[in-house]
Chain A
Amino acid sequence: MMNYLTALELRPLYAVLVSLIASGLIYVLGEHIRPNAREGITLTAAVLKIIIVYSMIPAVLAGTEIRLELFSIVKGVSFAFNVDAAGMVFACVASTLWILTSIYSIGYMRGHGEQNQTGYYAAFAMCLCAATGLCFAANLITFFIFFEVLTVATYPLVVHYRDAEGTMSGRKYLAYTLISGQIFFAGIVIVYAVTGTMEFTPGGFIKPDMMPMPWMLLVFFMMVGAGMVKAGVMPLHSWLPAAMVAPTPVSALLHAVAVVKAGAFCTLRVVLYVFGPEAAKACKGAEILAWMAVFTIIVSSFIAMRKYNLKARLAFSTVGQLSYIVLGICILTPYSTAGALYHIVAHAFMKITLFMAAGAIFVTTHKKDIREMVGIGRRMPYTMIAFTAASIGIAGFPFFVGFVSKANIIMGAVAMGKPVFVATLIASALLALTYLMPVVLVAFKKNVDNPEFEKYGEAAPAMLVPLIITAVISIILGVFPNAGLHLFDLAVMAGNQIFMPYM
């Protein structure tokens, strides 16, 4: 069938290009134009991207996938985009949060008088370009290209401060991601050599009889490994807390939007679109991965309790929350898959609120340690209320967005008859409360008016407004999961597509 290209058919490409061009423009012009003009480029690109991405939602909801084959990238495989429900969920999150983090970054970077802002904004835009690209990638090689671009583009953000600590974290980050990326590459080669295809197919294209089982398991972990590293599944998580040395908006980006979610999304694509439930179950890969996720959820919560640096605590919380997504994927039911996808949304909004709040506190008071934040809630009430809302959401209380996703994952676990997973999920909600509530309690401690904080007020509006918006969104989405963008419908749709052949 001849597929004529029209301007609208090219939308996935525009969505990727808009950030790429923004990144290039910022890098080349950044030092020669005024900061306002430079940030103008970022914001314009972010707005354009949101418009492009949102405009594709109706078509995807109607069940048509926007497919775009550009040119052959390697012999026999094209550089192709395919906008499906799962990719759309991640793309919506990434593009929505880009604009909020950009506004927040402007406030933070200026408030904090940071160096190297040009490189920062350029790398940031590049990350978003890569994230969008891997949402829409139609096959493994396109996916891998964007995956590696994301790896490299994040590096300058991690080493942003150019100091010894940053350099070490950068090395650690590179060691983890490059090694896993190269092994992923080898896995892709083997899969292509065995199956002759690389197209993501809901329900997978590897049949259980294509490879002998132990080899299949090896290839499964070669490919999932890259996702596990980026998603911080233990024992491959240690780059994530180390990357905390970066500026807070970067942490927000790393931990809530682009990088870790790209890891979770990679796991999703590999487990459910390459291997498929049948092969993943047959080679035991899914089950092993699920147990690793369970381990991560519990252990990371305990580690988080012992961290008194607010950002480090949030980092370990991220490690745990990302494993929810991995667990949801590995339970291999439509419910849990929808829950896992929706948790990408839920966790993004909640965690970014938490990080933005932490950053706001840091810029205003230069405090990192939780124990020094006594009474700060009275000085920065809106920030801390947003923080509280997001904390409760992380714990998965009803009427908060975290509830929707966790409930679905639990439903999947019940359907599969896995009581341990159910118990883990419920226990971890309580654990999340135990490490996030103390922050809130300390901040709002009664009858203590810390004189140290008297001169401080709320952070600048550029920082305050985004974090209030994300907090509000996370409550709205908790009550009406489909509000606005129909993200929950998209997640359910993706789950049904994958498990259609098995029902």
Chain B
Amino acid sequence: MTANIPVLVILLPLCSALPCLALTKVNRHLGNAVVKIACLGSFVLSVIQLTEVVKNGPIHYAIGNYAVPYGIELVIDSLNAVLLVAFSLIGILTLIFAGNFGDRKRPMMIAAANAEIALLITGLLGMTSTGDVFNLYVFLEITSLSAYCLISLGGSRGVVSAYRYMLVGTIAATFYLLGIGILYGATGTLNMGDMAKILNEGGHDNAMLVAMCFLIPAFGIKMALFPFHGWQPSAYAHAEPGSRPLITGVMGKVPALAMFRFFFCIYGTDFRFVRLSLILLGVFSVIGMLYGSIMAMGQSDIRKILAYSSVAQIGYISLGFAIGTPISLAGAFLHMLGHAFMKGGLFFCTGAIRYKYGTADIDNFGRIYKKMPLTCGLLVIASLSMIGIPPTVGFFSKWYLALGAAGRHEWIYIAVLVISSLLNAVYFFKLIEKVFIRQSAGLKERWKSEEFELPVSIILPVVVCFLAILGLGLFNVRIIDILLMTLEGVGL
């Protein structure tokens, strides 16, 4: 049992997603309960797995016991073990949260959304764990297809956004396939470790460069990295409301992990064009950080604000890659974790407000803190974390990024980090101003007040995100130590 944990983490949500609809036919609560239990199991197993990895080092799991360069391998090192815990936690929180949305008279629709969320979780966890480049493609497509469906469930705009995302996303997937095709042609293997070994023997520089030209846009599109972010704001803003925290919090991060694997684990720093590609990535990140924040300032729909802010925040992560030292990479991964909870948390808040008042326009948010103190507490903490005010996690990831930049004498990156924080401050304090200062818009509650201002299934994710943002901040050194177990020696 314990030996099979890596695959069970992925399989549990997958196996629960398919019978969900059938079980809902039997009993309207049964299907959803099964999905939730499976994802909870996946979360618990990933926690066990993390402790194993921290104690005994990386786990290599060959699916179906096929010998490694031929069969599919799951590689769980300290890096993705941590990410798996965070992502599956957000997954289960999203499932708990999503039950409150959708038409209550149509249980099949709710069940369908839950099944899609479970499939999305499968894809994301699979992409995080896999050690095989083609298997990554398969999980990427599972993720994408379920994301298209979830986005299309968000009303008529959602359908159009989903269609557009599908076109762009398919281009990305095709490019990815082409990239790995070129690498496969050069090396004859699909296993990441094996491929890295062969590529490092040298002599494949041209093939690697061509593959890189396809891989950067592929991951760029999936991450919504500037300038490939065009699909993202409307897709994030119009997705099915219950699933938004997962889509916005996790979906952009996993391709970033894949990008890291290609840049630093497979290509390695001996690659002739590594500095050039890192500079290119750095330019994309810097422009993205500034552009995302500036665009976010102009929006009045909170979902759009947060979506554009994601463009900026993904820039932080890729900036960490572009700096490329172990400490900045650790910072990038800390930001990945932190931002998953911040953005997820902000969308939990948005969802909570929508649930109660049915609005997402920040001009209507006047003084809702009186009615929803807990939600607004998270809203403030998550906003401060986005800006990077200590002691939240956003500050510490920024610290490691800046420290890495200073170590490589990239002063411009430090300046950009400062400017970007200030731009974030502009629109997040605008939001805080609306919530705390503006006159009340006199909104009517759609549901009558319940015990903790909202149903427990909404308030629980809010509280967990709140604690995660502060906890990851105060005890970041523990996380950084775990991350550095893998990252030490990687990068420049």
Check whether chain A touches chain B (CB < 8 angstroms).
yes
Give the interface size bracket for B toward A: 35 or more
B101: interface (CB < 8 Å): no
Please give, as numbers and ranges, the residues of chain A lying within 8 Å of B137 by CB-CB distance.
none
A33: interface (CB < 8 Å): no
| CB atoms of A186 and B414 under 8 A apart | yes
Contact of A152 among B389, B396, B402, B436 (CB under 8 A): B389
Given contacts A162-B437, A193-B403, contact A148 B390 (CB under 8 A): yes
The digit string for B356-396, where 1 denotes a CB below 8 A from any CB of A, is 00000000000000000100000000001001111100011
Kindly state the separation between the CA atoms of A166 and B422 in the bound complex, as whole angstroms: 21
B8: interface (CB < 8 Å): no
Given contacts A183-B418, A185-B418, contact A174 B403 (CB under 8 A): no
| CB atoms of B477 and A72 under 8 A apart | yes
Given contacts A73-B477, A162-B437, contact A189 B399 (CB under 8 A): yes
Given contacts A74-B477, A152-B389, A186-B414, contact A167 B402 (CB under 8 A): no
Please give, as numbers and ranges, the residues of chain B lying within 8 Å of A144 by CB-CB distance.
390
Q: Which of B398-426 contact A (CB under 8 A)?
A: 398-400, 402-403, 405-407, 414-415, 417-418, 421-422, 425
| CB atoms of A174 and B429 under 8 A apart | yes
B172: interface (CB < 8 Å): no
Kindly state the separation between the CA atoms of A166 and B433 in the bound complex, as whole angstroms: 11
Please give, as numbers and ranges, the residues of chain B lying within 8 Å of A178 by CB-CB distance.
387, 422, 425
Kindly state the separation between the CA atoms of A71 and B391 in the bound complex, as whole angstroms: 14
| CB atoms of A71 and B477 under 8 A apart | yes
A179: interface (CB < 8 Å): yes
Chain B residue at minimal CB-CB distance from A78: B477
B256: interface (CB < 8 Å): no
The digit string for A163-198, where 1 denotes a CB below 8 A from any CB of B, is 000110011001000110011011001101100000
Please give, as numbers and ranges, the residues of chain B lying within 8 Å of A156 by CB-CB distance.
436
Kindly state the separation between the CA atoms of A398 and B484 in the bound complex, as whole angstroms: 61
Q: Which of A136-169 contact B (CB under 8 A)?
A: 141, 144-145, 148-149, 151-152, 156, 159, 162, 166-167
Chain B residue at minimal CB-CB distance from A142: B390
Chain A residue at minimal CB-CB distance from B419: A182
Kindly state the separation between the CA atoms of A156 and B384 in the bound complex, as whole angstroms: 14
B476: interface (CB < 8 Å): yes
Kindly state the separation between the CA atoms of A159 and B429 in the bound complex, as whole angstroms: 12
The digit string for B17-35, where 1 denotes a CB below 8 A from any CB of A, is 0000000000000000000
B327: interface (CB < 8 Å): yes
Q: Which 8 A-B pairs have the closest CB atoms?
A: A193-B406, A145-B390, A72-B477, A189-B402, A182-B418, A162-B437, A148-B389, A186-B418
A-B contact pairs, 8 of them (CB 8 A): A72-B477, A149-B390, A149-B391, A152-B389, A179-B422, A189-B399, A190-B414, A192-B406
| Chain A residues within CB distance 8 Å of chain B | 27, 71-75, 141, 144-145, 148-149, 151-152, 156, 159, 162, 166-167, 170-171, 174, 178-179, 182-183, 185-186, 189-190, 192-193
| Chain B residues within CB distance 8 Å of chain A | 327, 373, 384, 387-391, 395-396, 398-400, 402-403, 405-407, 414-415, 417-418, 421-422, 425, 429, 433, 436-437, 474-477, 480-481, 484
